[in-house]
Structure 1
Protein backbone atom coordinates (compact mmCIF):
# COMPACT_ATOMS: atom_id res chain seq x y z
CA UNK A 1 0.00 0.00 0.00
CA UNK A 2 1.28 3.44 -0.81
CA UNK A 3 2.17 6.23 1.65
CA UNK A 4 -1.10 8.07 0.87
CA UNK A 5 -3.17 5.04 1.83
CA UNK A 6 -1.18 4.76 5.07
CA UNK A 7 -1.90 8.40 5.95
CA UNK A 8 -5.65 7.89 5.36
CA UNK A 9 -5.71 4.75 7.51
CA UNK A 10 -3.97 6.61 10.31
CA UNK A 11 -6.85 9.13 10.37
CA UNK A 12 -9.39 6.39 11.12
CA UNK A 13 -10.30 5.26 7.66
CA UNK A 14 -12.45 2.41 8.98
CA UNK A 15 -14.99 4.93 10.15
CA UNK A 16 -15.44 6.69 6.83
CA UNK A 17 -16.92 5.58 3.51
CA UNK A 18 -15.11 4.82 0.26
CA UNK A 19 -16.11 8.14 -1.25
CA UNK A 20 -14.46 10.14 1.52
CA UNK A 21 -11.26 8.06 1.19
CA UNK A 22 -11.16 8.71 -2.55
CA UNK A 23 -11.73 12.43 -2.04
CA UNK A 24 -8.94 12.69 0.58
CA UNK A 25 -6.55 10.80 -1.68
CA UNK A 26 -7.41 13.13 -4.58
CA UNK A 27 -6.83 16.21 -2.46
CA UNK A 28 -3.46 14.83 -1.26
CA UNK A 29 -2.49 14.46 -4.91
CA UNK A 30 -3.77 18.02 -5.52
CA UNK A 31 -6.08 16.94 -8.30
CA UNK A 32 -9.45 18.48 -9.08
CA UNK A 33 -12.67 16.61 -9.85
CA UNK A 34 -12.48 17.84 -13.46
CA UNK A 35 -9.03 16.34 -13.87
CA UNK A 36 -10.15 13.02 -12.40
CA UNK A 37 -13.19 13.11 -14.64
CA UNK A 38 -11.08 13.69 -17.72
CA UNK A 39 -8.75 10.79 -16.89
CA UNK A 40 -11.56 8.39 -15.99
CA UNK A 41 -13.98 9.76 -18.65
CA UNK A 42 -16.63 10.40 -15.99
CA UNK A 43 -19.02 13.28 -15.36
CA UNK A 44 -18.21 15.65 -12.51
CA UNK A 45 -21.70 15.10 -11.07
CA UNK A 46 -21.08 11.35 -10.88
CA UNK A 47 -17.70 11.94 -9.14
CA UNK A 48 -19.51 14.17 -6.63
CA UNK A 49 -21.99 11.36 -5.88
CA UNK A 50 -19.14 8.86 -5.40
CA UNK A 51 -17.12 11.14 -3.09
CA UNK A 52 -20.21 12.02 -1.00
CA UNK A 53 -21.42 8.38 -0.83
CA UNK A 54 -24.82 9.60 -2.01
CA UNK A 55 -26.04 7.65 -5.02
CA UNK A 56 -29.17 8.70 -6.97
CA UNK A 57 -29.88 5.18 -8.21
CA UNK A 58 -29.87 6.21 -11.87
CA UNK A 59 -26.52 4.47 -12.49
CA UNK A 60 -26.45 0.69 -12.00
CA UNK A 61 -24.47 -0.53 -8.98
CA UNK A 62 -22.19 -2.66 -11.13
CA UNK A 63 -21.02 0.40 -13.05
CA UNK A 64 -20.45 2.35 -9.85
CA UNK A 65 -18.25 -0.43 -8.49
CA UNK A 66 -16.18 -0.29 -11.66
CA UNK A 67 -15.88 3.49 -11.44
CA UNK A 68 -14.79 3.26 -7.78
CA UNK A 69 -12.18 0.61 -8.60
CA UNK A 70 -10.68 2.75 -11.41
CA UNK A 71 -10.81 5.83 -9.18
CA UNK A 72 -8.95 3.96 -6.39
CA UNK A 73 -6.24 2.79 -8.78
CA UNK A 74 -5.82 6.32 -10.12
CA UNK A 75 -5.19 7.78 -6.62
CA UNK A 76 -2.99 4.83 -5.52
CA UNK A 77 -5.48 3.20 -3.09
CA UNK A 78 -6.22 -0.51 -2.63
CA UNK A 79 -9.07 -0.99 -5.07
CA UNK A 80 -10.28 -4.23 -3.39
CA UNK A 81 -10.52 -2.51 0.01
CA UNK A 82 -12.39 0.49 -1.48
CA UNK A 83 -14.86 -1.80 -3.30
CA UNK A 84 -15.39 -3.80 -0.10
CA UNK A 85 -16.15 -0.60 1.80
CA UNK A 86 -18.60 0.40 -0.99
CA UNK A 87 -20.38 -2.97 -0.66
CA UNK A 88 -20.75 -2.41 3.11
CA UNK A 89 -22.09 1.12 2.55
CA UNK A 90 -24.43 -0.07 -0.21
CA UNK A 91 -25.75 -2.89 2.00
CA UNK A 92 -26.56 -0.41 4.73
CA UNK A 93 -28.33 1.87 2.29
CA UNK A 94 -30.55 -0.82 0.82
CA UNK A 95 -33.23 -0.33 3.48
CA UNK A 96 -33.15 3.41 2.90
CA UNK A 97 -33.37 2.81 -0.86
CA UNK A 98 -36.37 0.59 -0.39
CA UNK A 99 -38.07 3.26 1.70
CA UNK A 100 -37.25 5.87 -0.94
CA UNK A 101 -38.59 3.58 -3.65
CA UNK A 102 -41.81 3.03 -1.69
CA UNK A 103 -42.15 6.78 -1.07
CA UNK A 104 -41.63 7.53 -4.74
CA UNK A 105 -44.16 4.87 -5.71
CA UNK A 106 -46.70 6.27 -3.27
CA UNK A 107 -46.14 9.81 -4.52
CA UNK A 108 -46.45 8.70 -8.13
CA UNK A 109 -49.66 6.82 -7.34
CA UNK A 110 -51.13 9.90 -5.67
CA UNK A 111 -50.23 12.00 -8.72
CA UNK A 112 -51.88 9.42 -10.98
CA UNK A 113 -55.01 9.47 -8.82
CA UNK A 114 -55.23 13.25 -9.07
CA UNK A 115 -54.75 13.07 -12.83
CA UNK A 116 -57.52 10.47 -13.18
CA UNK A 117 -59.82 12.62 -11.04
CA UNK A 118 -59.25 15.58 -13.35
CA UNK A 119 -59.96 13.39 -16.39
CA UNK A 120 -63.19 12.09 -14.83
CA UNK A 121 -64.31 15.63 -14.06
CA UNK A 122 -63.67 16.69 -17.65
CA UNK A 123 -65.64 13.72 -19.00
CA UNK A 124 -68.54 14.44 -16.66
CA UNK A 125 -68.56 18.12 -17.67
CA UNK A 126 -68.65 17.19 -21.35
CA UNK A 127 -71.56 14.81 -20.68
CA UNK A 128 -73.54 17.49 -18.82
CA UNK A 129 -72.90 20.06 -21.57
CA UNK A 130 -74.05 17.55 -24.19
CA UNK A 131 -77.31 16.94 -22.30
CA UNK A 132 -77.95 20.69 -21.96
CA UNK A 133 -77.26 21.27 -25.68
CA UNK A 134 -79.59 18.42 -26.69
CA UNK A 135 -82.36 19.74 -24.41
CA UNK A 136 -82.07 23.24 -25.89
CA UNK A 137 -82.20 21.90 -29.45
CA UNK A 138 -85.28 19.79 -28.63
CA UNK A 139 -87.06 22.74 -27.00
CA UNK A 140 -86.34 25.00 -30.01
CA UNK A 141 -87.59 22.37 -32.47
CA UNK A 142 -90.78 21.79 -30.46
CA UNK A 143 -91.49 25.53 -30.23
CA UNK A 144 -91.04 25.96 -33.99
CA UNK A 145 -93.32 22.99 -34.77
CA UNK A 146 -96.09 24.22 -32.45
CA UNK A 147 -96.06 27.82 -33.74
CA UNK A 148 -98.16 27.14 -36.93
CA UNK A 149 -100.72 25.13 -34.94
CA UNK A 150 -101.06 27.90 -32.35
CA UNK A 151 -101.53 30.48 -35.13
CA UNK A 152 -104.22 28.30 -36.76
CA UNK A 153 -106.08 27.88 -33.48
CA UNK A 154 -105.88 31.64 -32.83
CA UNK A 155 -107.26 32.51 -36.29
CA UNK A 156 -110.07 29.95 -35.95
CA UNK A 157 -111.00 31.33 -32.52
CA UNK A 158 -111.06 34.89 -33.84
CA UNK A 159 -113.27 33.88 -36.77
CA UNK A 160 -115.72 32.10 -34.46
CA UNK A 161 -115.85 35.11 -32.15
CA UNK A 162 -116.46 37.41 -35.12
CA UNK A 163 -119.31 35.17 -36.33
CA UNK A 164 -120.90 35.04 -32.90
CA UNK A 165 -120.62 38.84 -32.64
CA UNK A 166 -122.10 39.52 -36.10
CA UNK A 167 -124.99 37.05 -35.96
CA UNK A 168 -127.03 38.89 -33.25
CA UNK A 169 -126.67 42.16 -35.18
CA UNK A 170 -127.83 40.45 -38.38
CA UNK A 171 -130.80 38.86 -36.63
CA UNK A 172 -131.83 42.18 -35.08
CA UNK A 173 -131.64 43.91 -38.48
CA UNK A 174 -133.81 41.25 -40.13
CA UNK A 175 -136.45 41.40 -37.37
CA UNK A 176 -136.64 45.20 -37.62
CA UNK A 177 -136.97 45.01 -41.38
CA UNK A 178 -139.77 42.43 -41.15
CA UNK A 179 -141.71 44.54 -38.67
CA UNK A 180 -141.37 47.76 -40.68
CA UNK A 181 -142.13 46.37 -44.14
CA UNK A 182 -143.51 42.82 -44.41
CA UNK A 183 -144.17 43.24 -48.11
CA UNK A 184 -140.61 44.22 -49.03
CA UNK A 185 -138.52 41.53 -50.79
CA UNK A 186 -135.70 39.74 -49.09
CA UNK A 187 -133.13 41.77 -51.02
CA UNK A 188 -134.25 44.92 -49.17
CA UNK A 189 -133.77 43.20 -45.82
CA UNK A 190 -130.26 42.33 -46.78
CA UNK A 191 -129.69 45.93 -47.90
CA UNK A 192 -130.32 47.08 -44.31
CA UNK A 193 -127.21 45.18 -43.18
CA UNK A 194 -123.66 46.54 -43.25
CA UNK A 195 -122.14 47.00 -46.70
CA UNK A 196 -119.66 44.17 -46.24
CA UNK A 197 -122.39 41.57 -45.38
CA UNK A 198 -124.59 42.75 -48.25
CA UNK A 199 -121.77 42.37 -50.75
CA UNK A 200 -120.87 38.84 -49.61
CA UNK A 201 -124.52 37.73 -49.65
CA UNK A 202 -125.13 39.11 -53.15
CA UNK A 203 -121.97 37.50 -54.49
CA UNK A 204 -122.87 34.10 -53.05
CA UNK A 205 -126.50 34.30 -54.24
CA UNK A 206 -125.29 35.15 -57.75
CA UNK A 207 -122.84 32.23 -57.54
CA UNK A 208 -125.64 29.87 -56.50
CA UNK A 209 -127.84 31.00 -59.39
CA UNK A 210 -125.00 30.43 -61.89
CA UNK A 211 -123.66 27.12 -60.58
CA UNK A 212 -126.68 25.41 -59.01
CA UNK A 213 -128.07 22.55 -61.18
CA UNK A 214 -131.77 22.48 -61.91
CA UNK A 215 -133.48 21.21 -58.80
CA UNK A 216 -135.85 18.26 -59.23
CA UNK A 217 -139.52 19.14 -58.90
CA UNK A 218 -140.79 18.46 -55.45
CA UNK A 219 -143.87 16.42 -54.58
CA UNK A 220 -147.20 18.29 -54.67
CA UNK A 221 -147.36 18.50 -50.90
CA UNK A 222 -143.77 19.82 -50.52
CA UNK A 223 -143.97 23.51 -51.57
CA UNK A 224 -145.15 25.09 -48.39
CA UNK A 225 -144.24 28.55 -49.70
CA UNK A 226 -146.75 28.31 -52.61
CA UNK A 227 -149.58 27.47 -50.27
CA UNK A 228 -148.58 30.36 -48.10
CA UNK A 229 -148.75 32.78 -51.02
CA UNK A 230 -152.25 31.61 -52.05
CA UNK A 231 -153.61 31.44 -48.53
CA UNK A 232 -152.04 34.17 -46.40
CA UNK A 233 -153.84 32.93 -43.28
CA UNK A 234 -152.00 29.58 -43.46
CA UNK A 235 -148.56 31.28 -43.46
CA UNK A 236 -148.95 32.61 -39.96
CA UNK A 237 -145.84 32.03 -37.83
CA UNK A 238 -145.81 28.97 -35.67
CA UNK A 239 -147.03 29.62 -32.16
CA UNK A 240 -144.28 30.54 -29.76
CA UNK A 241 -145.38 27.85 -27.31
CA UNK A 242 -144.65 25.05 -29.83
CA UNK A 243 -141.68 22.86 -28.88
CA UNK A 244 -138.37 23.81 -30.51
CA UNK A 245 -136.45 21.42 -32.71
CA UNK A 246 -132.71 20.90 -32.70
CA UNK A 247 -130.26 20.96 -35.59
CA UNK A 248 -126.62 19.91 -35.24
CA UNK A 249 -124.08 20.60 -37.99
CA UNK A 250 -120.58 19.10 -37.99
CA UNK A 251 -118.30 20.69 -40.61
CA UNK A 252 -115.53 18.60 -42.16
CA UNK A 253 -114.43 21.55 -44.29
CA UNK A 254 -115.19 25.25 -44.81
CA UNK A 255 -118.83 25.58 -45.88
CA UNK A 256 -121.20 28.52 -46.44
CA UNK A 257 -124.61 28.20 -44.71
CA UNK A 258 -127.90 30.12 -44.57
CA UNK A 259 -130.55 28.79 -42.17
CA UNK A 260 -134.04 30.13 -41.27
CA UNK A 261 -136.66 28.69 -38.92
CA UNK A 262 -140.45 28.60 -39.48
CA UNK A 263 -140.86 32.15 -38.14
CA UNK A 264 -138.45 33.55 -40.73
CA UNK A 265 -135.77 34.04 -38.12
CA UNK A 266 -132.27 33.58 -39.45
CA UNK A 267 -130.41 31.17 -37.18
CA UNK A 268 -127.04 31.04 -38.94
CA UNK A 269 -125.31 32.64 -41.90
CA UNK A 270 -121.79 32.80 -43.34
CA UNK A 271 -118.78 30.49 -43.74
CA UNK A 272 -118.22 27.90 -41.02
CA UNK A 273 -114.72 26.54 -40.52
CA UNK A 274 -113.61 22.92 -40.66
CA UNK A 275 -114.02 21.10 -37.35
CA UNK A 276 -116.73 23.49 -36.09
CA UNK A 277 -119.82 21.89 -34.47
CA UNK A 278 -122.91 24.13 -34.57
CA UNK A 279 -126.10 23.48 -32.56
CA UNK A 280 -129.27 25.43 -33.45
CA UNK A 281 -132.70 25.46 -31.82
CA UNK A 282 -135.82 26.89 -33.41
CA UNK A 283 -139.31 26.31 -34.75
CA UNK A 284 -139.60 23.70 -37.51
CA UNK A 285 -139.69 23.50 -40.47
CA UNK A 286 -136.25 24.89 -41.20
CA UNK A 287 -135.12 26.37 -44.51
CA UNK A 288 -131.50 25.28 -45.06
CA UNK A 289 -128.95 26.22 -47.72
CA UNK A 290 -125.51 24.53 -47.75
CA UNK A 291 -122.74 25.58 -50.16
CA UNK A 292 -120.85 22.26 -49.86
CA UNK A 293 -123.16 19.57 -48.45
CA UNK A 294 -120.50 16.88 -48.96
CA UNK A 295 -118.49 18.54 -46.13
CA UNK A 296 -121.38 18.62 -43.62
CA UNK A 297 -122.84 16.02 -41.25
CA UNK A 298 -126.42 16.98 -40.19
CA UNK A 299 -128.70 15.60 -37.50
CA UNK A 300 -132.30 16.66 -36.82
CA UNK A 301 -133.57 16.02 -33.30
CA UNK A 302 -130.69 13.58 -32.70
CA UNK A 303 -131.50 11.69 -35.96
CA UNK A 304 -128.96 11.70 -38.79
CA UNK A 305 -129.98 13.34 -42.07
CA UNK A 306 -128.59 11.75 -45.25
CA UNK A 307 -126.92 14.31 -47.53
CA UNK A 308 -125.21 11.80 -49.79
CA UNK A 309 -127.72 12.45 -52.59
CA UNK A 310 -126.05 15.76 -53.40
CA UNK A 311 -123.18 15.69 -55.85
CA UNK A 312 -119.82 17.27 -55.09
CA UNK A 313 -120.02 20.98 -55.92
CA UNK A 314 -123.84 20.98 -55.85
CA UNK A 315 -125.51 23.55 -53.60
CA UNK A 316 -128.10 22.01 -51.28
CA UNK A 317 -131.39 23.84 -50.65
CA UNK A 318 -134.02 21.97 -48.67
CA UNK A 319 -136.49 22.18 -45.81
CA UNK A 320 -136.57 20.09 -42.67
CA UNK A 321 -138.59 18.08 -41.91
CA UNK A 322 -141.04 18.42 -44.85
CA UNK A 323 -138.69 18.64 -47.85
CA UNK A 324 -137.88 15.59 -49.93
CA UNK A 325 -134.15 14.90 -50.11
CA UNK A 326 -132.63 14.61 -53.61
Structure 2
Protein backbone atom coordinates (compact mmCIF):
# COMPACT_ATOMS: atom_id res chain seq x y z
CA UNK A 1 0.00 0.00 0.00
CA UNK A 2 1.49 3.37 -1.03
CA UNK A 3 1.25 6.80 0.56
CA UNK A 4 -1.29 7.88 -2.09
CA UNK A 5 -3.78 5.33 -0.79
CA UNK A 6 -4.12 7.39 2.41
CA UNK A 7 -4.32 10.95 1.13
CA UNK A 8 -7.91 11.05 2.34
CA UNK A 9 -6.87 10.48 5.97
CA UNK A 10 -6.61 14.28 6.36
CA UNK A 11 -10.42 14.37 6.52
CA UNK A 12 -11.34 12.21 9.55
CA UNK A 13 -15.02 13.12 9.45
CA UNK A 14 -15.55 11.28 6.15
CA UNK A 15 -15.08 7.64 7.34
CA UNK A 16 -16.66 6.25 4.18
CA UNK A 17 -13.54 7.28 2.25
CA UNK A 18 -11.18 5.49 4.67
CA UNK A 19 -10.70 1.73 4.01
CA UNK A 20 -11.41 -0.63 6.87
CA UNK A 21 -7.98 -1.83 8.09
CA UNK A 22 -8.96 -5.47 8.70
CA UNK A 23 -10.60 -5.75 5.29
CA UNK A 24 -7.47 -4.30 3.67
CA UNK A 25 -5.28 -6.86 5.51
CA UNK A 26 -7.46 -9.74 4.32
CA UNK A 27 -7.53 -8.52 0.68
CA UNK A 28 -3.75 -8.02 0.62
CA UNK A 29 -3.16 -11.46 2.16
CA UNK A 30 -5.34 -13.12 -0.46
CA UNK A 31 -3.57 -11.20 -3.24
CA UNK A 32 -0.23 -12.45 -1.90
CA UNK A 33 -1.58 -16.00 -1.88
CA UNK A 34 -1.03 -16.43 1.85
CA UNK A 35 -3.16 -18.46 4.24
CA UNK A 36 -3.97 -17.75 7.88
CA UNK A 37 -1.34 -20.31 8.87
CA UNK A 38 1.27 -18.52 6.74
CA UNK A 39 0.41 -15.21 8.39
CA UNK A 40 0.61 -16.82 11.83
CA UNK A 41 4.12 -18.09 11.07
CA UNK A 42 5.23 -14.66 9.82
CA UNK A 43 3.65 -12.55 12.57
CA UNK A 44 3.80 -15.05 15.45
CA UNK A 45 0.14 -14.26 16.13
CA UNK A 46 -2.46 -16.95 16.75
CA UNK A 47 -5.13 -17.82 14.19
CA UNK A 48 -7.80 -16.46 16.52
CA UNK A 49 -6.08 -13.05 16.72
CA UNK A 50 -5.64 -12.90 12.94
CA UNK A 51 -9.34 -13.64 12.41
CA UNK A 52 -10.24 -10.83 14.81
CA UNK A 53 -7.90 -8.46 12.92
CA UNK A 54 -9.45 -9.26 9.54
CA UNK A 55 -12.98 -8.95 10.99
CA UNK A 56 -12.03 -5.64 12.66
CA UNK A 57 -13.21 -7.02 15.98
CA UNK A 58 -11.93 -4.06 18.00
CA UNK A 59 -13.58 -5.21 21.23
CA UNK A 60 -12.19 -8.72 20.98
CA UNK A 61 -8.64 -7.47 20.43
CA UNK A 62 -8.65 -5.81 23.86
CA UNK A 63 -6.75 -2.65 24.69
CA UNK A 64 -5.94 -0.26 21.81
CA UNK A 65 -2.23 -0.78 22.36
CA UNK A 66 -2.61 -4.51 21.59
CA UNK A 67 -4.70 -3.81 18.48
CA UNK A 68 -2.11 -1.35 17.16
CA UNK A 69 0.58 -3.98 17.62
CA UNK A 70 -1.49 -6.61 15.75
CA UNK A 71 -2.03 -4.28 12.78
CA UNK A 72 1.65 -3.35 12.69
CA UNK A 73 2.69 -7.01 12.63
CA UNK A 74 0.31 -7.71 9.75
CA UNK A 75 1.59 -4.65 7.89
CA UNK A 76 5.20 -5.84 8.24
CA UNK A 77 4.31 -9.32 7.00
CA UNK A 78 2.39 -7.98 3.95
CA UNK A 79 4.66 -5.04 3.07
CA UNK A 80 2.11 -2.38 4.01
CA UNK A 81 2.68 0.95 5.71
CA UNK A 82 2.16 0.21 9.40
CA UNK A 83 1.68 3.83 10.47
CA UNK A 84 -1.08 4.44 7.94
CA UNK A 85 -2.79 1.14 8.74
CA UNK A 86 -2.80 1.98 12.45
CA UNK A 87 -4.16 5.44 11.68
CA UNK A 88 -7.03 3.87 9.73
CA UNK A 89 -7.78 1.62 12.72
CA UNK A 90 -7.79 4.63 15.08
CA UNK A 91 -10.16 6.58 12.83
CA UNK A 92 -12.67 3.71 12.60
CA UNK A 93 -12.42 2.62 16.26
CA UNK A 94 -12.40 6.16 17.68
CA UNK A 95 -9.19 5.58 19.64
CA UNK A 96 -7.10 8.41 18.24
CA UNK A 97 -4.14 9.12 20.49
CA UNK A 98 -4.47 12.60 22.05
CA UNK A 99 -2.00 15.14 20.72
CA UNK A 100 -0.16 16.77 23.64
CA UNK A 101 -0.58 20.52 23.86
CA UNK A 102 2.30 22.78 24.79
CA UNK A 103 1.63 25.89 26.79
CA UNK A 104 3.83 28.35 24.92
CA UNK A 105 4.15 31.80 26.37
CA UNK A 106 4.31 34.73 23.95
CA UNK A 107 7.72 36.17 23.46
CA UNK A 108 8.50 39.64 24.79
CA UNK A 109 8.75 42.21 22.03
CA UNK A 110 11.14 45.04 22.80
CA UNK A 111 9.81 48.47 21.96
CA UNK A 112 11.76 50.93 19.89
CA UNK A 113 12.32 54.61 20.65
CA UNK A 114 11.58 55.94 24.19
CA UNK A 115 11.79 52.41 25.69
CA UNK A 116 15.54 52.26 25.16
CA UNK A 117 16.03 55.71 26.68
CA UNK A 118 14.12 54.68 29.82
CA UNK A 119 16.23 51.53 30.10
CA UNK A 120 19.45 53.53 29.82
CA UNK A 121 18.27 55.99 32.51
CA UNK A 122 17.39 53.14 34.87
CA UNK A 123 20.81 51.53 34.39
CA UNK A 124 22.49 54.89 35.07
CA UNK A 125 20.56 55.37 38.31
CA UNK A 126 21.54 51.90 39.47
CA UNK A 127 25.21 52.61 38.81
CA UNK A 128 25.03 55.93 40.72
CA UNK A 129 23.42 54.27 43.74
CA UNK A 130 26.05 51.55 43.70
CA UNK A 131 28.90 54.10 43.57
CA UNK A 132 27.47 56.14 46.48
CA UNK A 133 27.04 53.00 48.61
CA UNK A 134 30.62 51.89 47.92
CA UNK A 135 31.99 55.36 48.82
CA UNK A 136 29.99 55.45 52.07
CA UNK A 137 31.24 52.03 53.13
CA UNK A 138 34.84 53.01 52.34
CA UNK A 139 34.60 56.21 54.46
CA UNK A 140 33.01 54.27 57.34
CA UNK A 141 35.77 51.65 57.38
CA UNK A 142 38.50 54.32 57.25
CA UNK A 143 37.02 56.29 60.17
CA UNK A 144 36.69 53.13 62.28
CA UNK A 145 40.34 52.19 61.64
CA UNK A 146 41.60 55.69 62.56
CA UNK A 147 39.58 55.71 65.78
CA UNK A 148 41.02 52.33 66.76
CA UNK A 149 44.59 53.59 66.29
CA UNK A 150 44.15 56.81 68.35
CA UNK A 151 42.05 55.34 71.20
CA UNK A 152 43.74 55.67 74.72
CA UNK A 153 44.51 52.68 76.86
CA UNK A 154 41.61 51.58 79.06
CA UNK A 155 41.51 52.79 82.68
CA UNK A 156 42.51 50.24 85.28
CA UNK A 157 44.54 48.06 82.93
CA UNK A 158 46.89 45.73 84.81
CA UNK A 159 50.54 46.36 83.82
CA UNK A 160 52.67 43.46 82.82
CA UNK A 161 55.08 42.60 85.68
CA UNK A 162 58.75 42.98 84.87
CA UNK A 163 61.38 40.64 86.35
CA UNK A 164 63.38 42.18 89.25
CA UNK A 165 67.17 42.46 89.00
CA UNK A 166 67.83 43.09 92.78
CA UNK A 167 69.84 40.40 94.60
CA UNK A 168 67.85 38.02 96.79
CA UNK A 169 68.92 37.95 100.45
CA UNK A 170 69.09 34.46 101.91
CA UNK A 171 68.67 33.86 105.72
CA UNK A 172 71.81 32.87 107.70
CA UNK A 173 72.28 29.24 108.49
CA UNK A 174 72.15 28.27 112.17
CA UNK A 175 74.02 25.46 113.81
CA UNK A 176 71.91 22.59 115.07
CA UNK A 177 72.55 21.32 118.59
CA UNK A 178 74.14 17.86 118.57
CA UNK A 179 71.79 16.66 121.26
CA UNK A 180 68.77 17.48 119.17
CA UNK A 181 70.00 15.15 116.45
CA UNK A 182 69.27 12.10 118.68
CA UNK A 183 65.64 13.10 119.28
CA UNK A 184 62.81 11.38 117.45
CA UNK A 185 62.04 12.86 114.08
CA UNK A 186 59.00 15.05 113.82
CA UNK A 187 56.01 13.50 112.10
CA UNK A 188 54.73 15.54 109.20
CA UNK A 189 51.02 16.28 109.45
CA UNK A 190 50.67 15.63 105.72
CA UNK A 191 51.86 12.00 105.97
CA UNK A 192 49.28 9.46 107.17
CA UNK A 193 50.81 6.53 109.09
CA UNK A 194 50.30 3.08 107.54
CA UNK A 195 47.65 0.97 109.32
CA UNK A 196 48.74 -2.08 111.28
CA UNK A 197 47.79 -5.68 110.35
CA UNK A 198 45.39 -5.95 113.29
CA UNK A 199 43.61 -2.79 112.27
CA UNK A 200 43.21 -4.06 108.70
CA UNK A 201 41.77 -7.42 109.78
CA UNK A 202 39.39 -5.78 112.25
CA UNK A 203 37.64 -3.71 109.57
CA UNK A 204 34.43 -5.29 108.18
CA UNK A 205 34.47 -6.52 104.60
CA UNK A 206 32.05 -4.49 102.42
CA UNK A 207 29.11 -6.46 101.08
CA UNK A 208 29.20 -6.95 97.30
CA UNK A 209 25.76 -6.80 95.74
CA UNK A 210 25.09 -7.98 92.18
CA UNK A 211 24.48 -5.24 89.70
CA UNK A 212 20.97 -5.30 88.25
CA UNK A 213 20.87 -5.77 84.50
CA UNK A 214 18.88 -2.93 82.92
CA UNK A 215 15.94 -4.09 80.86
CA UNK A 216 15.29 -2.86 77.41
CA UNK A 217 13.25 0.32 77.66
CA UNK A 218 11.69 0.07 74.28
CA UNK A 219 11.23 -2.47 71.57
CA UNK A 220 13.49 -2.39 68.52
CA UNK A 221 12.15 -0.20 65.73
CA UNK A 222 10.33 -1.95 62.95
CA UNK A 223 12.38 -2.66 59.86
CA UNK A 224 11.81 -0.37 56.90
CA UNK A 225 9.78 -1.91 54.06
CA UNK A 226 11.82 -3.39 51.23
CA UNK A 227 11.64 -1.41 47.96
CA UNK A 228 13.48 -3.55 45.38
CA UNK A 229 14.96 -2.15 42.17
CA UNK A 230 13.37 -3.46 38.97
CA UNK A 231 14.98 -3.25 35.50
CA UNK A 232 13.01 -3.85 32.29
CA UNK A 233 14.50 -4.23 28.79
CA UNK A 234 12.72 -4.66 25.46
CA UNK A 235 14.53 -6.79 22.87
CA UNK A 236 13.59 -8.02 19.41
CA UNK A 237 10.46 -5.89 18.96
CA UNK A 238 8.12 -3.41 20.61
CA UNK A 239 6.19 -4.37 23.74
CA UNK A 240 3.49 -2.88 25.95
CA UNK A 241 4.10 -2.75 29.73
CA UNK A 242 1.65 -1.92 32.51
CA UNK A 243 3.29 -2.19 35.99
CA UNK A 244 1.45 -1.17 39.17
CA UNK A 245 2.08 -1.35 42.93
CA UNK A 246 -0.40 -2.76 45.51
CA UNK A 247 -2.12 0.65 45.74
CA UNK A 248 -2.79 0.72 41.99
CA UNK A 249 -0.21 3.43 41.23
CA UNK A 250 1.23 3.14 37.71
CA UNK A 251 5.00 2.65 37.91
CA UNK A 252 5.32 2.00 34.15
CA UNK A 253 2.58 2.38 31.53
CA UNK A 254 3.96 2.69 28.04
CA UNK A 255 4.57 1.12 24.63
CA UNK A 256 8.36 0.64 24.43
CA UNK A 257 10.43 0.24 21.28
CA UNK A 258 13.25 -2.33 20.85
CA UNK A 259 16.32 -1.44 22.87
CA UNK A 260 14.37 0.53 25.50
CA UNK A 261 15.44 0.19 29.15
CA UNK A 262 13.40 1.32 32.16
CA UNK A 263 14.34 1.14 35.85
CA UNK A 264 12.06 1.85 38.81
CA UNK A 265 11.51 0.98 42.45
CA UNK A 266 8.39 0.65 44.55
CA UNK A 267 6.46 -1.35 47.10
CA UNK A 268 6.01 -5.03 46.06
CA UNK A 269 4.26 -7.14 44.99
CA UNK A 270 4.15 -5.63 41.49
CA UNK A 271 1.25 -6.38 39.16
CA UNK A 272 2.39 -6.71 35.50
CA UNK A 273 0.34 -6.78 32.29
CA UNK A 274 2.50 -7.31 29.19
CA UNK A 275 1.78 -7.22 25.48
CA UNK A 276 4.33 -9.04 23.28
CA UNK A 277 5.76 -10.46 26.50
CA UNK A 278 8.25 -12.52 24.50
CA UNK A 279 10.20 -9.30 23.83
CA UNK A 280 10.42 -8.34 27.52
CA UNK A 281 13.28 -9.13 29.94
CA UNK A 282 12.97 -8.34 33.68
CA UNK A 283 15.50 -8.20 36.54
CA UNK A 284 14.78 -7.70 40.26
CA UNK A 285 17.71 -6.65 42.46
CA UNK A 286 20.05 -7.67 39.62
CA UNK A 287 18.61 -11.21 39.33
CA UNK A 288 16.72 -12.25 36.14
CA UNK A 289 13.01 -13.09 36.47
CA UNK A 290 11.70 -16.18 34.64
CA UNK A 291 8.06 -15.81 33.49
CA UNK A 292 7.82 -17.86 30.28
CA UNK A 293 5.16 -20.05 31.88
CA UNK A 294 2.87 -17.00 32.21
CA UNK A 295 3.02 -16.04 28.48
CA UNK A 296 -0.28 -16.90 26.77
CA UNK A 297 -0.86 -17.99 23.17
CA UNK A 298 -1.49 -14.39 22.02
CA UNK A 299 1.86 -13.35 23.58
CA UNK A 300 0.23 -11.52 26.48
CA UNK A 301 1.14 -12.16 30.13
CA UNK A 302 -0.46 -11.28 33.47
CA UNK A 303 1.38 -12.06 36.74
CA UNK A 304 2.78 -10.71 40.02
CA UNK A 305 6.41 -10.29 41.20
CA UNK A 306 7.40 -10.08 44.89
CA UNK A 307 10.48 -8.43 46.46
CA UNK A 308 12.65 -11.54 45.79
CA UNK A 309 11.70 -11.68 42.10
CA UNK A 310 9.36 -14.67 42.50
CA UNK A 311 6.54 -14.91 39.94
CA UNK A 312 2.96 -15.89 40.80
CA UNK A 313 -0.41 -15.77 39.03
CA UNK A 314 -2.04 -14.08 42.04
CA UNK A 315 -0.94 -12.06 45.04
CA UNK A 316 0.79 -14.22 47.67
CA UNK A 317 0.69 -13.18 51.36
Q: Which has the larger radius of gyration?
A: 1
TM-score w.r.t. length of structure 2 = 0.27
TM-score w.r.t. length of structure 1 = 0.26
